[in-house]
Amino acid sequence: MKRTCHLSWLLLALVAVVALTACAETQFFIHSAKRASQAQDKPGIAGGGYKIGGPYQIDGIWYYPRVDYIYDETGIASWYGSKFHGRPTANGEIFDMNLLTAAHRTLPLPSYVTVVNLENGRSINIKVNDRGPFARNRIIDLSRRSAQLLGMEKKGTALVRVKILADESRALAARLQGKAAVKVGKTPIIVASLPKADVSSEFLPLLPGAAAAKAARITPAVVEPLAAAASPPDLGKVKLLPVAATRIFVQAGSFSLFTNANKVRAKLSWLGPVRIFPVLVNGQDMFRVRVGPMDSVASADHMLDRVIGVGYTDSHIVVE
């Protein structure tokens, strides 16, 4: 009898030890997972987060970040490197000058864009994850590696075209915000989940003399995940595109009345060739006053300073 009790106590002790061990392992797993989750939430450790941001002012100029999936602009690119290497970007990533990234003043962070060097035809896809550049006559600031692949590192600047990769940027934004990215028909939208309509059915008796119709076969709409249709772009692959002639101008202003545009043209005529370019913007005639064309980025920078000095502080460089 005593031997039986002794064995029972040994069995109970063994069960208790196993339970405590399992509990300890469970607690260790929970705390480990929590530490990993906290590390992912820290900026720069797991790639930063999604950010648009509100309006901000730099050197007296206001910038207005916004979602813009039709963004397509030509202008001058610059690049930045060792001075900012290892520092946090505007969305919490750590800037690495050897990765294919860039800074933009208003696009959502991060976004994917295609950058084409209009001077040599080189084209690459890169990720925008920082704010800048804040020089008046630059539209994008590239990492050193991006500048190398575009063939502009030694020169420092280049005439470029920057176009957002819309579907890829939507999918990236959805993933970082924890939303489901779906495409309904030909229109990509982002929703947390698709709404489900409340539908009820009821069988009604046939009218006298009426025959029952055959049941219609309804094909449900296909909902295609946007993320599957828009996988991350191939970063770093250089494409060579045909090189077309480009021109650089300094635009002093855009006016709805030709008489106002002509007055500005007359005031600036002593600086060099000044032309008025009529365009249609949202159904309205506009008249753009431009000085040029200039033969280099350096001459365009110099002319911009002169036009601003005359009093046209909203002037900027445009590339066509």
Two tokens, residue 232: 């991350």
Which of 138, 166, 194 is at the close of a domain?
A: 166
Establish if 308 belongs to a structural domain. yes
Which of 166, 191, 217 is at the close of a domain?
A: 166
Mean pLDDT of 19-27: 44
Establish if 107 belongs to a structural domain. yes
Helix, strand, coil percentages, rounded to 5, for the chain: 30, 30, 40
* 15-24, 65-74, 85-94, 256-265: segment of lowest average pLDDT: 15-24
Sign of CA dihedral 121, 122, 128, 132: negative
As a whole-number percent, the residues of the chain with pLDDT over 90 amount to 62
Residue 68 belongs to domain with CATH number:
2.40.40.10
- Domain total for the chain? 2
Which of 151, 166, 181 is at the close of a domain?
A: 166
Residue 202: which H helix or E strand, with range? none
Domain interval for residue 301: 248-319
Confidence of residue 121 (pLDDT cuts 50, 70, 90): very high
Establish if 306 belongs to a structural domain. yes
Cβ atoms of 292 and 271 closer than 8 Å: no
Cβ atoms of 138 and 102 closer than 8 Å: no
Mean pLDDT of 83-110: 96
Q: Which of 97, 93, 100, 99 is nearest to 83 (CA)?
A: 97
* 1-5, 141-145, 219-223: segment of lowest average pLDDT: 1-5
Task: Give pLDDT tens digits for 275-289.
Answer: 999 999 989 999 999
Establish if 126 belongs to a structural domain. yes
Residue pointed to by tokens 């813009």? 68
Establish if 184 belongs to a structural domain. no
Establish if 256 belongs to a structural domain. yes
Establish if 28 belongs to a structural domain. no
Instruction: Judge if 64 and 156 occupy the same domain.
Output: yes
Mean pLDDT of 16-28: 44
Residue 191, beta-bridge partner list = 180
Alpha-carbon gap, residue 51 to 168, rounded angstroms: 16
